[in-house]
Amino acid sequence: MEDIECIESLVIDLPTLRLATNNFAEDKKLGEGGFGAVYKGSLPNGQEIAVKRLSQNSRQGIGELRNELVLIAKLQHKNLVRLVGVCLEEEEKLLVYEYMPNTSLDTFLFDSEKRKELDWGKMFTIINGITRGLQYLHEDSQLKIVHRDLKASNILLDTAMNPKISDFGLARLFGEDQSQDTTRRVVGTYGYMAPEYALRGQYSIKSDIYSFGVLILEIITGRRNSDSYNSDQSVDLPSLVWEHWTTRSITDMVDPYFRSDSSWDEILRCIHIGLSCVQEDPVDRPTISAISIMLDSGTVPSQPPSRPAFYVEMSGNVDSGMYSSQSYPGFVNESTAKSTVVSPNELSVTDPEPR
């Protein structure tokens, strides 16, 4: 009943949202993902909003919708996106969020021109903000939340470029003493999924830490982790960064725009933290509170990072005992029921099936 009352207090009627978005006009569309489109709108009181309109055949069903509603309505933190309202009328499923004028982090990271708008100082502030939001989810809120889909496109930026973690449709609530869970339905994003989750369905707060590590390395290098899978070079981004780290040529991996910056200590510390987050064994990955301390105090992990999960030699040979990027299972295409290539890392994927 508490959950129902929590949702009912957020209900916005459909005519109001149709008016706010000019009946979901094409020129109001901010973007489109696996679950549907997002539109910019304005409520009668002048508040700007982003309306997530789930498509009729969206993979996000009532279960995920309720999950997102209940979780985000209860979570309040400056580094989490705020839910403004919900509408479930005439077969419409609409979630209304505060509008983020600078859209998502990926639009800056992977655009050579827009990336120049963010110097290292701003990037470091974004890393810190994501850390604080994740620490709230994992440790500081009354709930213990595993996000399960942390990635650049799910980090929204407000007017001041402060980051806010969004999209809690795949998030899971853990009990106070619970450390991990297992699912047969693996959901998330290729390139950000921890190996124990992608291959065995085991997820925990350390799965989020792995995703956060990939995100840190993407921020520093300006490269998508999926780029390596779409090129002739069969090595993933964490492996590529680690290879340069061990050969003392890490400056080659840092975005050229940062290389003239005076904050090398911060950059190298973040690389060290990022590599520690993508270790194969979840036990070897730091907690988010430990990461927060390292960022604030200028310290680094006590142990040097070993080869990351999915490590592949630069020559393309799979390192002994490690999973290669080629070992990822195929994913079910629900329309064809055949194993297909997984989606790139800007889209979420569901239901893996071994080849």
In the residue annotation, 208 being an active-site residue is answered as no
In angstroms, the CA 32 to CA 320 distance is: 40
Residues 6+ apart with CB under 8 A from 9: none
DSSP annotation string for 137-186: IIIISSSEEE-S---GGGEEE-TT--EEE---TT-EEE-TT--EEE-SS-
Tokens coding 18: 């149709």
First to last CA, the chain: 44
Looking up tokens 């407000």 gives 158
Tokens coding 106: 């990926």
In angstroms, the CA 313 to CA 280 distance is: 15
H-type helices in 190-263, by residue range? 195-200, 205-221, 237-246, 256-259
Q: Among 186, 46, 200, 208, which Cα is nearest to 137's? A: 208
Tokens coding 115: 């990336």
The catalytic residue among 13, 106, 111, 149 is 149
Characterize 155-165 residue by residue with b for buried, 16 or more Cβ atoms within 10 angstroms of its Cβ, and e for exposed: bbbbeebbbbb
Q: Among 354, 353, 350, 352, which Cα is nearest to 149's? A: 350
In angstroms, the CA 113 to CA 264 distance is: 23
Residues 6+ apart with CB under 8 A from 46: none
How far CA 294 is from CA of 144, 266, 286, in Å, comes to: 22, 10, 10
- Which residues are part of the catalytic machinery? 149
